[in-house]
Structure 1
Amino acid sequence: MSSAMLAFLATFALVMAVELPDKTMVATLVLTTRYRARAVLAGVSAAFAVQAVIAVAFGSVLTLLPDRLVSVVVGVMFGIGAAMLLREGFQQGEDSSHDAARSGAQPVSFLRAAMTSFAVLFAAEWGDASQLATAGLAARYGQPFAVGLGAFTGLVCVAALAVFLGSKIRSRLRPRLIQRVAGFLFAGFSLFALGAALLG
């Protein structure tokens, strides 16, 4: 087996193992209950591509970034997302029909949904374990393209699974209820990140 293939497979396996139980999958699933699946997948995939490039380009230097600064930025981004979702979820008036309740994704433009998804996942992945692992593997194997491709492929596979699950959940729940649950989840992510910054 070539060193490039070994680097790809090692990175893919590690990223999948790290991200399946991680906030990346949860955040993608939540976004899919809010926006159209294709827009979410496009946005998060773009975020993963940028993050993979950053990780490979800087290698292990990413581990030198101040942990507190990373935690504060992530916390603020999730806090903003939580505020937006909770504001919409608790607006006066409930969904008036069964059809509206089952419509799921809100009528937001593809570009706006993709950009929102990009911003949320870019913040979530910054300084995340998978990004740091990608940087370390790039330095270890000396195969930046293979490592970057392995990380990107692993992240997109996790995101695709989350999008699929989110689409199934969305069809069975009321949109406002989804927004409220998503808002509280994002608020939890925000508090966790800000707590890590204060205690770090």
Structure 2
Amino acid sequence: MEVPVAPELIALFTAFGVIFLAELPDKTMVATLVLTTRYRAWPVFVGVTVAFAVQCVVAATFGGVLTLLPDRLVAGIVALLFGVGAFLLLKESFAADDEESAESGSGGAVTFRRAALTSFGVLFAAEWGDASQLATAALSARYGAPVFVGVGAFLALVVVAGIAVLVGRKIAGRIPTHLIQRVSGAIFAVFAAVAAWQAIMG
């Protein structure tokens, strides 16, 4: 005898599977990993988790309306934020003060609040117009169960962020801090360039 599955649970598991697969190779995971090599793991995880929660609420609530936002404006904001992040990371990596560099490597010079807010800002920007947000909006409209779709998408993003944080901490413990910062800055610069190109070309 088959046990009927509630449509809401189908929506939740579908959202989880779709978003999880979409985010594994996406810039969201890369950005989280990069942030974890720069800051302590816990504030990064808190910051990105809150960003994901807000984005999932927006996507699930507004459904298909989200796709009507101006693409160029969204891309321009994303490019600006990633550009600022790249500048700060590269500037710090080339700093001459050894003591400052050592403190940055240990994460002691950066407060929990600053690291969490930075992580929130970067991931909040990265998720605007991202495939996962658009997929969440589409699934919300498709199933008519925004709460369950939002929860499924949020859980998938949290799992991906957890994987990125764990990988990031292992990398940070084996590679010199200044090298991590330079590579991270370069990655952020690439994200900024791609978003700027999208903003210009539409």
TM-score when scaled to structure 2?
0.93
Q: Which amino acid aligns with 1:37?
A: A
* 2:147 corresponding residue in structure 1: 145
Among 10, 23, 28, which residue is 1:24 paired with?
28
Correspondence 1:91 to 2:114: no
1:5 alignment partner in structure 2: 9
Contact kept? 1:46, 1:118, Cα under 8 Å? yes
| Distance in structure 1 (CA, Å) of the matches to 2:75 and 2:96 | 34
Q: In the alignment, residue 164 of structure 1 is paired with which amino acid?
A: L
Kindly report which structure 2 residues correspond to 1:99-118, keeping only aligned pairs within 5 A, or say none: 100=102, 104-118=106-120
In 2: Cα distance, 1:94 partner to 1:176 partner: 10
Number of paired residues? 198
Residue 38 in structure 1 maps to residue 42 in structure 2:
yes
TM-score, normalised to structure 1, is 0.94
| Matched letter for residue 177 of structure 1 | L
For 1:1-200, list aligned pairs within 5 A.
1-94=5-98, 100=102, 104-200=106-202
Q: Distance in 2 between matches of 1:84 and 1:10?
A: 38
**1:102 shift after superposition:** 11
Extract structure 1 runs of 4+ deviating beyond 2 A: 93-97, 100-107
Instruction: Give the secondary-structure state (helix, strand or coil) at the position aligned to 1:21.
Output: coil
**1:102–1:89 distance in 2 versus 1, CA, 3 Å:** closer
Q: Distance in 2 between matches of 1:152 and 1:43?
A: 14
Deviation at 1:134, TM superposition (A): 0.3
Q: Is the 8 A contact 1:78 1:186 kept in 2?
A: yes
Q: Tell me the SS of whatever aligns to 2:95.
A: coil
* Uncovered stretches (5+) of structure 2, i.e. residues with no partner: none
Fraction of identical pairs, as percent:
56
